[in-house]
Amino acid sequence: MMRTLKDAKVGENVTVARLHGEGAVKRRIMDMGITRGTEIFVRKVAPLGDPMELNVRGYELSVRRADAEMIELA
């Protein structure tokens, strides 16, 4: 079973293995600095699970659950 960023827990450090999705959606995720091999720290998750607050490449980023589902973890 594939593990995605959506499954990561608060306080966990994870590494991106692969991006799923196509076209503009994948491009938007890559433009946020999330590429293969990138380390991500999960800071917070909103009470209803959407969005997730992450630390990526030294800055804070909020990602929707639907986008987090497209980011496969190593």
Mean pLDDT for all residues in the chain: 93
Q: Give yes or no for a contact between 2 and 72, defined as CB atoms under 8 angstroms apart.
A: yes
- What pLDDT sits at residue 73? 96
Architecture of the domain delimited by 5-73? Roll (2.30)
Each residue's pLDDT tens digit, 21-53? 899 999 999 999 999 999 999 999 998 878 999
8: which DSSP letter?
P
- What pLDDT sits at residue 49? 79
pTM: 0.87
d(CA 57, CA 67): 18
d(CA 6, CA 71): 8
